[in-house]
Structure 1
Amino acid sequence: MSGSTNTTKLRRTLTAAVLMTIAGTAQASETETAMTDHPYVGMWVTEDGHVRQELLPNGRYDETRGTRQSAYTGRYEIDGNQIQYWDDTGFTADGTFVDGVLHHGGMIMYREETAR
């Protein structure tokens, strides 16, 4: 009976894990679909081009500093004109979009197609 009980528990655990994965994938897909058309998704760059930050439609960001690709990566959320970052290394940051310009961490960043 013990082997049967363990098998049943394992099946329940695996079933729960599969369902959670499916739910998480569906939720991530919905988030990505919702963000695809968001006006702030895309590449943001400092005037000198040293910092390039891509806001991806899946709620992730990837920031390049000089020649150091993916210097910072993590997730972000946008609420109105405010952006909040949660870096994969554990720190948080924020920023504000003002008249199509991103003010973040003491930097001023422009959409790539309008970089100065």
Structure 2
Amino acid sequence: MQKTLTTLMTVAMLAQPVGAAGTEAEANHPYVGMWVTEDGRVRHELLPNGRYVEARGSRERAYEGRYEVTGDHIEYWDDTGFTADGDFIDGVLYHGGMVLFRR
């Protein structure tokens, strides 16, 4: 019985979307955390579970969705269907004409 339960749990975890399991490796990824434009107007919070929340001005949850990082490149998929990407270069995130710094 225990072996069957363990197998079912493993299959369920493998069936989750990328980033949904929130593994320790994801939590320790160097890009997880808050990224902010110099004026503080745009804020990207990259969550350890592969999700992000973008705030703009006083709109704390202006955009939400998932993201994937490959090397130093990030791809975003907003929950509304919008897609975007960016690159991390020398500890700075360049995304959609914006420059975001680690907070």
TM over 0.5: yes
1:106 to 87, 93, 97: 97
1:21 is displaced (CA, Å) by 8.4
1:60 is displaced (CA, Å) by 0.2
| CA RMSD between the two structures | 2.1
- Partners of 1:107 and 1:32 in 2: CA distance: 29
Which ranges in structure 1 are unaligned for 5 or more consecutive residues?
Answer: 1-17
How many residue pairs get matched?
93
Which ranges in structure 2 are unaligned for 5 or more consecutive residues?
Answer: 1-7
Pick the structure with more helix per residue.
1
Q: Is the 8 A contact 1:85 1:94 kept in 2?
A: yes
Equivalent position of 1:56 in the other structure: 47
Letter in 1 for 2:74: I
Q: Is the 8 A contact 1:32 1:59 kept in 2?
A: no
Higher relative contact order (CA 8 A, sep 6+): 2
- Mark the structure with the bigger radius of gyration: 1
Pick the structure with more strand per residue.
2
Equivalent position of 1:92 in the other structure: 83
Q: Report sequence identity in percent.
A: 61
Equivalent position of 2:27 in the other structure: 36
Equivalent position of 2:12 in the other structure: 22
TM-score between both structures, scaled by the size of structure 1: 0.73
